[in-house]
Each structure stands twice: as C-alpha cells, then as structure tokens.
Amino acid sequence: MDTDGAPRPSAAQPPDPGRCVDLREAYEGAGVQEVLDELDRDLIGLRPVKARIREIAALLVVNRARQQVGLETAPPSLHMSFTGRPGTGKTTVAERMSKILHGLGYVRKGHVVTATRDDLVGQYIGHTAPKTREMLKKAMGGVLFIDEAYYLYRPENERDYGAEAIEILLQVMENNRDDLVVIFAGYKDRMDVFYHSNPGLSSRVANHIDFPDYTAGELLAIAQLILASENYRFSDSARAAFAEYIQRRMQLPFFANARSIRNAIDRARMRQANRLFSRMGTALTRQDLMTLEAEDITASRVFQGEVEGLDPAQPLT
C-alpha cells in the first residue's frame, strides 16, 4: 500500500524469469493507447512532439516488461524539458504524459501541478525553502510543470534566492525520481541558457522535446475545433476572413499560437453577440445564433495592423 492507502503498481510484485509478456496487452491495459489517441484527437499537428511521446511511452512499457521477467535495469530518467513559444500545447502534453506515467505505474496519482517562479522563490531569507518544498509536496506522486523555468535563475542579482529553489529541486528530482516527474518549460533559446548555467540540472533532464509553431493551416483547423466545441461555426466568408486574420496576426508582436487563436475566437463571439443584439425584436434562427460572419472577424484591429486585447504596458510572454 502507498501512503494514500492505494495498492502499489503490479511491477512491485516479485519478477518471474519464466514469464512471457505481451507488450500490446501492457500498452493497452495501462491506457497508453487511449491517451495517445486523445492526444491525436485534441491537438492539431505537432507530429514531432507526438512521435517523441510515443517513443517515451514505448520505452516505459518495455522497461516495465523487463522488470516483470527479472531483467535488472536502471530506471529511465523521466524528467523532461518542453521548449517552444506560448500556445503550442506544452501544458496539454504534460497532462497527457502524466496519464501515461500513472497508467504504467511510474507515479502514484498522475496529477499535474503547475508552478512559476513566484510559487517557488521567496523574497527574503528563509522564505524560499518552505515555498519550494510545499509545491514539491503538492506534486509528489505526479508531475510538477514549471513554466518559464529560466526565471528561477537570475545571475545578475546576487541577492536572488532562485538558486536555492534550484538546489532543492535537484535534490528531490534525484531522491524521489520513482514518484515525481519534473517538466521544465519555456522559450527554447532561454531554456538553453538556463541549462548551460546549471550543469547539475541539465544532467538530470534526459528528455528534451521542442514544440514547433503551428502553421497557418493548422491554426485555422484549431479555430474550427474550438468553434465546434462551443457549438459555433464560420460562414464561408467568415472562414476566409479568419484565414486572412491568421496570416496578419502571425506577423504582429506577441503572437501566442493557439492561445492567440482562442482569444480571437472569444472576441469574434462578442462581436457576433453585439451584432445579433442589434437585431432585437427580430426572430433569430439556430443558424443565426451559431454562425460567425465575416464582419465579426474583419472588425478586428488586427486588420489595421494592431494587436488586439493587449495592454502595451503588460507584454505577453
């Protein structure tokens, strides 16, 4: 039994050298295939990312099978680095990865705890250690996802306490590697500097996955998935207008891939609501209530070369 009263994974049973194992049975029985199918269904594109997750899943299944037949092997290092711009699916993939790890018995709970520098680093002496350990306690048995991890390290400030948080993370990553997976995430160039500045950290992170930007076609497909999930649709002219919106928005500052697309859809829905509200007293059909028209898209300030919904004093990271 583990500390929560739940039985430990079957891998804790004595190995049987004469046993045969069916990898397909292990793969499907742990729910791995179901999670990978979810990943394909819920995320457009990201082929290199999905391929890498499948490779890691295969390694974990084979490693578990080796244990079951008594083949001694060092446990795989599961700590990861997800690099890419905002809105490329890093958090979603972390959630799916946690399900795979839980299904195969590598972590007890399979939950994801998201943290930033503010959750881990204190502002005065003696404050950082309890904050960091509290977040690690919450994540134990699952995945700790540290977004914009490079902000933990600020060498230009000799009074900064980020180094203390990193040292605690390193210790727990090593000592609790059988029940905690840490995923560091952020922009690739900044993460490269972060790892070069922390050799001990770099040596503990074996799985590096880069999340590419979406193409314009993929972003349009994402927009249509978002609309369908909320029972909306584009008219033909609105679809063409949104395709043009994507091309323009990708050239403007602070573009955040799928996150920017979701924000654009939310604003288009608001314009549609105002357009329909102006027709008060007129009967509206189901199609009227579902359909976004071109004018709901082209009213965006993006068509005037401006970034919508952004306070210039608070740049999007």
CATH code: domain of residue 264: 1.10.8.60
For residue 16, the tally of other CB atoms under 10 A from its CB is 11
What DSSP assignment string belongs to 169-198? HHHHHHHTTTT-EEEEEE-HHHHHHHHHT-
Contact between 112 and 145 (Cβ < 8 Å): yes
Whether 24 is covered by a domain: the verdict is: yes
Give the lowest-confidence range in 3-17, 111-125, 279-293.
3-17
pLDDT of residue 186 exceeding 70: yes
Between 169 and 1, name the one with better pLDDT: 169
**Among 164, 181, 210, where does a domain finish?**
210
Whether 168 is covered by a domain: the verdict is: yes
Between 245 and 41, name the one with better pLDDT: 245
User: What mean pLDDT is predicted for residues 113-127?
Assistant: 93
**Shared-domain flag, residues 107 and 73:** yes
Domain coverage including residue 224: 216-304
Whether 62 is covered by a domain: the verdict is: yes
**Shared-domain flag, residues 120 and 25:** yes
Domain count, the chain: 2
**Shared-domain flag, residues 172 and 249:** no
**Shared-domain flag, residues 151 and 29:** yes
Instruction: Report the chain's terminal Cα–Cα distance, integer Å.
Output: 43
**Shared-domain flag, residues 169 and 102:** yes
**Among 165, 191, 210, where does a domain finish?**
210
pLDDT of residue 71 exceeding 80: yes
- Give the CA angle between residues 221, 82, 151 to the nearest 5°: 120
**Shared-domain flag, residues 244 and 110:** no
Residue that has been written with the tokens 């203390």 in this structure: 164
In this structure, what CATH number is given to the domain that contains residue 178? 3.40.50.300
**Shared-domain flag, residues 77 and 182:** yes
Between 309 and 110, name the one with better pLDDT: 110
Percent residues over pLDDT 70 in the chain: 91
**Shared-domain flag, residues 202 and 221:** no
Whether 269 is covered by a domain: the verdict is: yes
**Shared-domain flag, residues 173 and 92:** yes
The pTM score is 0.84
**Shared-domain flag, residues 147 and 295:** no
pLDDT score recorded for residue 259 = 94
**Shared-domain flag, residues 115 and 235:** no
pLDDT of residue 183 exceeding 80: yes
pLDDT score recorded for residue 113 = 97
**Shared-domain flag, residues 15 and 101:** yes
Q: How confident is the model at residue 17 (pLDDT cuts 50, 70, 90)?
A: low
Spatial distance between the Cα atoms of 259 and 263, rounded to a whole number of angstroms: 6
